[in-house]
């Protein structure tokens, strides 16, 4: 690895993510231009343009690089004409954009359902525009993701398999979101139920990001399967870390009210653990209105969860999942991109926001 001595792995990971983010952003401009009707497409692009680390597309591109065993200097790689197992060109960037587009659609619709006002530090789409436009922007992103995915020029049987993965992923995300909402009214959610929920709500999109490049490039079935499971493992870890960050990161840095999950009564592995330890989770915060809660209330609630060991418990669970996920990468040749995929897994649970 060039300059490996001078950089920590975390710095290398952040640099790799940053570099690929810019390339992905340029590709989003190409594959999802502001079209007519303009107001719709502005709403379609609004959240995508508000920020985001492009972690899922970066995972997708890194898997492609690792499989092709190319030098992972992104400036040298043409993701639009990327060599598959037979040396034929495949546009893996289209697939990367497609994954980010699906992510954006789910955030827009989730924010309507959860009535969240802020996302990425700016008003949610249904606040900046209106609910109807936000529904429609999400619906447009949804179909655009399929249009973009199939433009990737891979052999037709691989495209069909990728479409199947993407469609099943979307169905799972809906099922996970439905469970997440249903859990809010329950105080008897089992840990297995919670893990299944976050697998569907969050992890499957990481699974799709990791497995679709393998499918498009013609990898063998075992590789396709292990990469999917890598995505599931790190995706679950990512969601658990998100639950931790919601409680531990200041609101300004989080881009939304700290502790909002707790206020809204969302079940997380933290609240499940705390309840098992006898903590009165529902009584931790005296309001279910995110706008009415005080920092002091959140601070006290987080203190109780820390005392119960629930936040440490979540961190350990995330750590275990990351280790399992990294082991799945044995199917890949040893190269810098593989190291970065291991590094991203670590980064997902070490990130501060």
| Binding site residues, its own copies, CB under 8 A | 35-37, 39-40, 109, 112-113, 131-133, 135-136, 138-140, 142-144, 146-147, 150, 155-157, 159-160, 163-164, 166-171, 174-175, 177-179, 181-182
Question: Smallest gap, in angstroms, from Cβ of residue 188 to its own copies?
Answer: 16
Question: Smallest gap, in angstroms, from Cβ of residue 160 to its own copies?
Answer: 5
Question: Smallest gap, in angstroms, from Cβ of residue 126 to its own copies?
Answer: 10
Q: Which is nearer to its own copies, 146 or 245 (CB)?
A: 146
Q: Which is nearer to its own copies, 146 or 335 (CB)?
A: 146
Q: The tokens 């789409």 sit on which residue?
A: 125
Q: Which is nearer to its own copies, 49 or 146 (CB)?
A: 146
Q: Which is nearer to its own copies, 37 or 278 (CB)?
A: 37
Q: Give which of 116, 266, 107 is closest to 202, Cα–Cα.
A: 107
Q: Are 227 and 264 in contact (CB under 8 A)?
A: no
Count how many Cα atoms sit within 13 Å of the Cα of residue 39 in the half-sphere of its side chain.
Answer: 7
Q: Which is nearer to its own copies, 41 or 53 (CB)?
A: 41
Question: Smallest gap, in angstroms, from Cβ of residue 57 to its own copies?
Answer: 19
Question: Smallest gap, in angstroms, from Cβ of residue 235 to its own copies?
Answer: 18
C-alpha separations of 133 from 40, 187, 271 in Å: 7, 35, 34
Q: Which is nearer to its own copies, 30 or 164 (CB)?
A: 164
Question: Smallest gap, in angstroms, from Cβ of residue 232 to its own copies?
Answer: 18
> 249: exposed, middle or buried (C-beta count within 10 Å: 0-12, 13-18, 19+)?
middle
Q: Are 125 and 108 in contact (CB under 8 A)?
A: yes
At 82 the three-state DSSP class reads strand
Positive/negative CA dihedral, 263, 105, 25, 241:
positive
Q: Give which of 131, 122, 207 is closest to 164, Cα–Cα.
A: 207
Question: Smallest gap, in angstroms, from Cβ of residue 114 to its own copies?
Answer: 8
Q: Which is nearer to its own copies, 207 or 343 (CB)?
A: 207
C-alpha separations of 165 from 26, 61, 104 in Å: 25, 17, 18
d(CA 253, CA 353): 7
Q: The tokens 């799945």 sit on which residue?
A: 328
């Amino acid at each position: 690895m060039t300059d490996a001595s001078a950089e920590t792995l975390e710095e290398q990971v952040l640099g790799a993510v940053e570099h690929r983010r810019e390339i992905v952003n340029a590709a989003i401009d190409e594959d999802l231009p502001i079209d007519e009707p303009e107001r719709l497409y502005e709403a379609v692009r609004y959240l995508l343009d508000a920020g985001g680390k492009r972690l899922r597309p970066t995972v997708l591109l890194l898997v492609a690089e690792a499989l092709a065993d190319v030098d992972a200097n992104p400036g040298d790689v043409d993701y639009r004409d990327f060599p598959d197992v037979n040396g034929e060109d495949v546009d893996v960037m289209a697939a990367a954009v497609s994954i980010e587009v699906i992510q954006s659609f789910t955030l827009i619709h989730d924010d309507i359902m959860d009535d969240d006002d802020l996302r990425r530090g700016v008003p949610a789409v249904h606040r900046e525009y209106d609910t109807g436009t936000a529904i429609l922007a999400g619906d447009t992103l949804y179909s655009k993701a399929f249009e973009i995915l199939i433009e990737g020029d891979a052999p037709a049987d691989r495209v069909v398999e990728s479409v199947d993965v993407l469609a099943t992923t979307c169905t799972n995300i809906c099922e996970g979101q439905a469970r997440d909402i249903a859990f809010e009214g329950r105080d008897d959610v089992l840990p297995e139920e919670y893990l299944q929920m976050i697998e569907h709500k969050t992890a499957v999109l990481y699974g799709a990001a990791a497995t679709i490049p393998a499918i498009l490039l013609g990898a063998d079935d075992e590789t396709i399967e292990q990469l999917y499971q890598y995505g599931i493992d790190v995706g679950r870890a990512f969601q658990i870390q998100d639950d931790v960050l919601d409680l531990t990161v200041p609101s300004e840095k989080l881009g939304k009210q700290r502790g909002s999950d707790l206020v809204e009564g969302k079940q997380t592995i933290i609240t499940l653990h705390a309840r098992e330890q006898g903590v009165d989770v529902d009584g931790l915060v005296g309001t279910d209105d995110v706008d009415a809660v005080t920092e002091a209330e959140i601070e006290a609630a987080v203190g109780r969860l820390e005392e119960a060991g629930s936040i440490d418990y979540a961190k350990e669970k995330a750590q275990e999942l990351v280790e399992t996920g990294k082991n799945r990468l044995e199917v890949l040749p040893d190269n810098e991109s593989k190291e970065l995929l291991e590094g991203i897994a670590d980064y997902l649970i070490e990130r501060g926001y």
